Amino acid sequence: MNDLEKWIGIATTIAREVAREEGTEADRNATWVVRTMAALKESKLTGLMVPAAYGGLGGGLFALVRISEELGKAYSSAGLCFGMHCVGTAVIAAKATGWQAAQYLEPIAQGSHITTLALSEPGTGAHFYFPQTILLPRSADDFVVNGAKTFVTNGGHADSYVVSTIGASEDAGPDQFSCVVIDAQAPGIRWGEPWNGLGMRGNSSRSVELRDIQVGARHILGEKGDQLWYVFNVVAPYFLMAMAGTYLGIAEAALQEARETLARRTYAHNGTQLAQVSLLQHRLGGLWANVERTRQLIYHAARLGDSGSADALTAILAAKAEVAHCAVDVANEAMTLAGGIGYREHGRLGQLLRDARAAHVMAPTTDLLYTWLGRALLDQPILSD
């Protein structure tokens, strides 16, 4: 068994034994997936994106997809929370200094630290690469952060937050952002209301105000001028692949529900099993094909990304746009196949459909992804609005 198979095996066990059960409660009460994240920390899978040099697993995009997929299949928010931790880790790891590695990456590898990504803001919404949160220098070594973030997954539960800010000077342009790591206990962090979404209810994706937060220069990631490099080389691939895996898991779970329902249901008046009805067989076949072609695109995109291929970006953009349609369509159609029984309150398919629906509105949103894809194919500037 190679390392990847071993990690997937561990993720599958945690997904089945912890996340699946916790998901029912988290969906009902909108509580963060505390037991699942504890199990992932205990297993050291939370060190997936930490380079081996710092004691981590040194995994790539394909591993991220597969683990997010297994978690997402059991409970969508488990995939999302794990994914956002991994993206935050990848952003820290991309150009980590020795201090950042010791402070963040090593504890993450040891299973004692959760991080997450706080990019979205109330003012700029889906255009997360135009933050308005300000990072101002007080001296060469001291900076102060002021602003607001929305939808911070793992909000209030992570040990650190990777926050995007506009550049470290007063005359910096709106696209001149830096990322800075803020510790959870930093004075000046004020959390908004608990997360209470339509779906994806176990994420704790909360709003937060950042008021006069003091950070040292060592908390700033990368160098001036690295901004677009971070967006396209780290945030986009890791975020899009983590989300693609999670939403693929949702689509697979919905397909499985449809299969089980058709196999289970037999009519009293004539003994017909729904599994014997040609139209339903045909529709189930269509759902399987949808899931399978989307899976192949996602796996292909992740492998291209891991190999450093120049074609990776377009495939990665397409993968998250396509999986959003796949997850919503398959969950929606599975509910039709499951009849009125599938439509009941607190049912599994209802939860999967609500969770799947978040895929279209999570930035980069589906519409923006297709637009970026078109721009990439036409050699146009991708972030032109």
Ligand X SMILES: Cc1cc2nc3c(=O)[nH]c(=O)nc-3n(C[C@H](O)[C@H](O)[C@H](O)COP(=O)(O)OP(=O)(O)OC[C@H]3O[C@@H](n4cnc5c(N)ncnc54)[C@H](O)[C@@H]3O)c2cc1C
Per CB under 6 A, residues contacting ligand X are 84, 117-120, 125-126, 128, 151-153, 197, 200, 203, 205, 358, 361-363, 365, 367-368, 371, 385
Q: At a CB cut-off of 8 Å and minimum separation 6, what does 304 contact? A: 311, 312, 315, 316
Q: Which is nearer to ligand X, 101 or 353 (CB)?
A: 353
Shortest-Cβ-distance residue relative to ligand X:
125
**What CA–CA distance (Å, rounded) separates 300 from 311?**
11
Q: Which is nearer to ligand X, 8 or 318 (CB)?
A: 318
How far out from the chain centre does Cα 168 lie? 28
Minimal distance, residue 376 CB to ligand X, in Å: 15
3-state secondary structure of 151: strand
Minimal distance, residue 364 CB to ligand X, in Å: 8
Residue 215: strand pairing partners: 143
Minimal distance, residue 121 CB to ligand X, in Å: 8
**What CA–CA distance (Å, rounded) separates 214 from 373?**
39
Q: Which is nearer to ligand X, 133 or 290 (CB)?
A: 133
- DSSP character for 269? T
Q: Which residue has the tokens 């629906």?
A: 357
**What CA–CA distance (Å, rounded) separates 308 from 263?**
44
Q: Which is nearer to ligand X, 53 or 126 (CB)?
A: 126
Are the beta carbons of 255 and 72 closer than 8 angstroms? no
Minimal distance, residue 363 CB to ligand X, in Å: 3
Are the beta carbons of 351 and 334 closer than 8 angstroms? no
Are the beta carbons of 43 and 36 closer than 8 angstroms? no
Minimal distance, residue 222 CB to ligand X, in Å: 18
Minimal distance, residue 18 CB to ligand X, in Å: 21
Q: Which is nearer to ligand X, 130 or 288 (CB)?
A: 130
Q: Which is nearer to ligand X, 135 or 262 (CB)?
A: 135
